[in-house]
C-alpha cells in the first residue's frame, strides 16, 4: 500500500510515532482528523491488522468523516476487510455490551432510552413516589443522576440532606424501571462497559486482544467513565494515541474533565507529546484574535496557532439597539452577500450561546427569504418517528414498557388508561390481542428482513399508514417523515437481521446535534456554539455578545473562575470556526424570558486587540471596561 504524505513536520511525526502512548495536542483547524486517518492507514501499511485498530470520536459525523478519510488513503482494491472500528464512546460501549454484556446481566436486545424517554421515566418515578414535580423538578433530578453516573458515584454516597434522600429514592425507582424494561440510558452504556471490564478480566483481555491500537479524539471532552474505559482497553499493549486541545474543552456541564489530558503523562510516563500549531482553516488575523482571547486562561497547555493565510479582513463589530435589529442586520447582510454571488448560504453560520436566540433569527431569515437550517432540531425526536421506533423496540423487547405504553393505543385500539393498567399487570385483554399480533409480526420481519423492509413492515402492519392518510396537510407531512425513515434505514441493509435494526435504533438514540445537519442542503446554518464544535464556515456571525449572555451568567457563583475560563474557551471555539470573515454583534436591549434587559457588551470583546476590529458602517460602538 502506498500513501502520499502532504503533512507538515509535526503532523508527520504524529503519524509515524506508531507504538506506545502518544498525546497529540492539536490546535483548532490543525488537521487532526487528517492526521488520525493517516496514522491509522500507516499502521495498516506497516502490517497491523485493520480490525485491531479502534478509533473513538465524539459524534457520528466525526466518525463518518474519519472513515471516509481512511478509505481515501488506501485503494479499494487493497483495503482490508474487516475495516478499523470507528465510532463514538457510546456506540462502542453498545457494541461491547451486545456481544459480552450477558456476563453482567445485559441481554443482546436491550433498549437504549434517549434523553426524552429518560426524563419520562424520572417523571414516572416521581408519580410512583407521590412526589410533587413542581417541588422536585424532573429535569434537574435527571441531570443530577446523569452527572453522578458520569462521576462514577453510587447512590450510597447521597443520603445526607433531605434533598439528597429524595434524589436517592427517585434514582432507585428510576433504576428499577430501567431494569424492568431491560433498558439502559446513555450513561449506563459507559458505566456497564467499565463494570464488565472491571469485574471480568478475561472478557477485558478478549477486547484488549481484539483492539491493540486505540485512538481517542477530543480527549479533553472525556468524562471520568470514558477516561477509565480508555485506560482499561489500552493497559495491556499501551498503544494509546489521544488527540485533544484544552483550549476547546467546553463540556464540563455534562461531566467532561479537561484535566484528563493534563494527567496523560502521569498515566503513561513513556508518552511522546506532539503539538500541532499550524492552522489550515483561518486567516492569521482570526488566529491572532483567538490567541489574544485564550491566552488569558490559566488552565491550558501553551501553544500559539499560526497560518500561512496572512491576509484577511478585520473582524466587524456591530452594536444593535435590540435583538430585532441584530437579527435584521445578520439576515439582510447574508441576503446581500448570497444574492451578489459572494458566498453560498452553506458557508454562512450564525452562532449563539443559548437556543432561545434562534427564534428571532429564524423570523428575520424567513422575512428575507433566506434558506436556513436550525442545527439541533432532531429528525428522530419527531413524534411520528418516535412512534415508529417504539414499534421496533417493543417488538424486539416486550419488556420495554415505555415503548409499549407509547404505541399500544396508537393508532387507537380502544385501550384506555384502565385497560392499559390491567395489561401491564399481566391480564389478558381481547383489545390487546391485535397489538400482540402486530408486534409479533414486526419481530419476525426484524429477524428475517433487511432494515428498510423491517421499517416498511412497521408502517403497514401497525396501522400508521392508514391512520395518517386522513387528507390533512399535517398527517401527510408526518407520513412523509416516516417514509424518509425507510430511506435512512437503507444504510443498514447490509447488516444481517436483526443487526441492522439494532444499529438503527442505537444511532437514533445516540444522535448528536451535528448529525442533524443536511449536507446536501445549501442553507445558512443557525446553531449554538456548542453544536458548532469541529465545524468550519467561510463566514461566521457570533450573536448576542452581551455580559450575562455570553459569557453566560451562572445561577451558582461556585467556581466562578473555572466557569469564566470555560466561557472564554467557548468564545475561542466560536472564533476559530471561521475561515475568512467574522461578524460580532450585541444588543443594548434584549428580551429574555419576557423581561426587557439593558446590556453591557461582553467582556470578551475587550480581549480582542483594537487593531483587529472594525465598526459596522453607520454604527458607533464604544467598548468600556
- Residues belonging to the active site: 32-33, 217-218, 248, 577
Q: Which three cell numbers stand for residue 515?
A: 448529525
Angle at CA 184, nearest 5°, toward 180 and 188? 130
At 538, which helix (H) or strand (E)?
A: strand 537-542
Q: How is residue 330 written as a grid cell?
A: 445578520
- Angstrom distance (rounded) from CA 49 to CA 511: 30
Q: Cell 474505559, residue?
A: 229
Map residue 263 onto helix, strand or coil: coil
Measured CA to CA, the distance from residue 573 to residue 256 in angstroms comes to: 16
d(CA 333, CA 325): 12
Query: Collapsing DSSP states into helix, strand and coil, what is residue 408?
Result: coil
What's the rounded Cα separation, in Å, for the pair 6 and 585?
38
Helix (H) or strand (E) holding 424: helix 417-424
Of 465, 446, 455, 531, residue with least CA distance to 486: 455
Residue with cell 453498545: 94
Q: Which residues have a Cβ under 8 Å from the Cβ of 253 and sit 6 or more positions away?
A: none
What is the Cα–Cα distance from 246 to 25, expressed in whole angstroms? 8
Residue 196, judged by CB atoms within 10 A of its CB (0-12, 13-18, 19+), counts as buried
Per-residue burial over 45-73, b if 16 or more Cβ lie within 10 Å, else e, is beebebebbbbbbbbbbbbebbbebbeeb
DSSP 3-state of 426: coil
Cβ neighbors of 152 (< 8 A, separation 6 or more) are: 191, 194, 224, 225, 228
**537 bridge partner residues:** 578
Q: What are phi and psi of 345, to 5 degrees?
A: -55, -35
Amino acid at each position: 500500500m502506498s500513501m502520499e504524505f502532504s503533512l507538515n513536520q509535526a503532523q508527520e511525526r504524529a503519524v509515524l510515532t506508531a507504538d506506545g502512548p502518544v498525546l497529540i495536542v492539536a490546535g483548532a483547524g490543525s488537521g487532526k482528523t487528517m492526521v488520525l486517518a493517516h496514522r491509522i492507514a500507516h499502521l495498516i501499511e506497516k502490517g497491523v491488522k485493520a480490525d485491531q485498530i479502534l478509533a473513538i470520536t465524539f459524534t457520528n459525523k466525526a466518525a463518518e468523516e474519519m472513515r471516509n478519510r481512511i478509505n481515501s488513503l488506501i485503494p479499494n482494491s487493497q483495503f482490508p476487510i474487516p475495516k478499523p472500528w470507528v465510532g463514538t464512546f457510546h456506540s462502542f460501549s453498545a457494541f461491547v455490551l451486545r456481544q459480552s454484556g450477558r456476563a453482567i446481566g445485559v441481554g443482546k436486545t436491550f433498549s437504549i432510552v434517549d434523553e426524552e424517554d429518560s426524563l419520562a421515566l424520572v417523571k414516572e418515578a416521581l408519580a410512583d413516589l407521590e412526589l410533587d414535580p413542581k417541588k422536585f423538578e424532573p429535569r434537574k433530578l435527571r441531570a443530577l443522576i446523569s452527572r453522578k453516573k458520569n462521576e462514577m458515584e453510587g447512590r450510597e454516597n447521597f443520603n445526607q440532606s433531605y434533598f439528597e434522600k429524595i434524589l436517592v429514592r427517585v434514582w432507585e425507582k428510576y433504576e428499577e424501571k430501567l431494569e424492568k424494561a431491560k433498558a439502559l440510558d446513555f450513561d449506563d452504556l459507559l458505566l456497564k462497559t467499565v463494570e464488565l471490564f472491571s469485574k471480568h478480566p478475561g472478557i477485558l483481555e478478549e477486547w484488549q486482544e481484539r483492539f491493540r491500537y486505540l485512538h481517542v479524539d477530543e480527549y479533553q471532552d472525556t468524562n471520568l467513565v470514558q477516561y477509565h474505559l480508555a485506560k482499561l482497553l489500552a493497559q495491556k499493549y499501551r498503544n494509546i494515541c489521544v488527540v485533544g486541545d484544552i483550549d476547546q474543552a467546553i463540556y464540563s456541564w455534562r461531566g467532561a474533565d479537561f484535566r484528563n489530558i493534563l494527567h496523560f503523562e502521569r498515566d503513561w510516563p513513556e508518552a511522546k507529546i506532539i503539538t500541532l500549531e499550524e492552522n489550515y482553516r483561518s486567516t492569521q488575523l482570526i488566529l491572532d484574535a483567538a490567541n489574544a482571547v485564550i491566552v488569558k486562561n490559566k488552565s491550558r497547555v501553551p501553544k500559539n496557532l499560526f497560518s500561512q493565510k496572512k491576509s484577511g479582513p478585520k473582524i466587524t463589530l456591530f452594536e444593535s439597539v435590540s435583538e430585532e435589529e441584530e437579527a435584521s442586520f445578520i439576515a439582510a447582510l447574508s441576503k446581500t452577500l448570497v444574492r451578489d454571488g459572494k458566498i453560498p448560504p452553506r458557508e454562512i453560520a450564525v452562532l449563539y450561546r443559548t437556543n432561545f436566540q434562534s427564534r428571532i433569527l429564524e423570523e428575520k431569515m424567513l422575512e428575507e427569504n433566506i434558506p436556513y437550517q436550525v442545527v439541533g432540531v432532531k429528525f428522530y425526536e419527531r413524534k411520528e418517528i418516535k412512534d415508529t421506533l417504539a414499534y421496533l423496540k417493543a417488538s424486539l423487547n416486550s419488556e420495554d414498557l415505555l415503548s409499549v405504553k407509547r404505541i399500544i393505543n396508537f393508532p387507537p385500539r380502544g385501550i384506555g388508561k384502565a385497560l392499559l393498567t390491567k395489561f401491564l399487570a399481566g391480564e389478558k385483554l381481547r383489545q390487546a390481542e391485535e397489538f400482540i399480533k402486530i408486534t409479533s409480526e414486526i419481530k419476525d420481519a426484524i429477524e428475517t428482513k433487511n432494515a428498510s423492509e423491517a421499517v416498511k413492515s412497521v408502517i403497514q402492519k401497525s396501522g400508521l399508514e392508514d391512520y395518517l392518510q386522513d387528507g390533512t396537510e399535517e398527517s401527510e407531512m408526518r407520513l412523509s417523515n416516516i417514509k424518509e425513515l425507510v430511506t435512512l434505514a437503507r444504510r443498514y441493509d447490509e447488516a444481517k437481521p436483526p443487526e441492522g435494526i439494532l444499529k438503527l435504533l442505537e444511532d437514533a438514540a445516540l444522535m448528536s446535534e451535528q448529525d442533524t445537519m443536511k449536507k446536501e442542503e445549501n442553507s445558512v446554518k443557525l446553531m449554538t456554539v456548542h453544536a458548532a464544535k469541529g465545524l468550519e464556515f467561510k463566514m461566521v456571525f457570533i450573536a448576542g455578545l452581551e455580559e450575562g449572555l455570553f459569557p453566560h451568567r451562572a445561577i451558582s457563583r461556585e467556581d466562578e473562575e473555572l466557569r469564566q475560563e470555560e466561557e472564554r474557551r467557548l468564545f475561542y471555539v466560536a472564533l476559530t470556526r471561521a475561515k475568512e470573515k467574522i461578524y460580532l454583534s450585541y444588543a443594548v436591549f434584549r428580551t429574555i424570558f419576557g423581561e426587557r434587559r439593558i446590556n453591557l457588551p461582553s467582556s470578551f470583546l475587550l480581549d480582542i486587540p483594537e487593531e483587529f476590529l472594525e465598526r459596522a458602517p453607520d454604527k458607533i460602538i464604544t467598548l468600556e471596561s
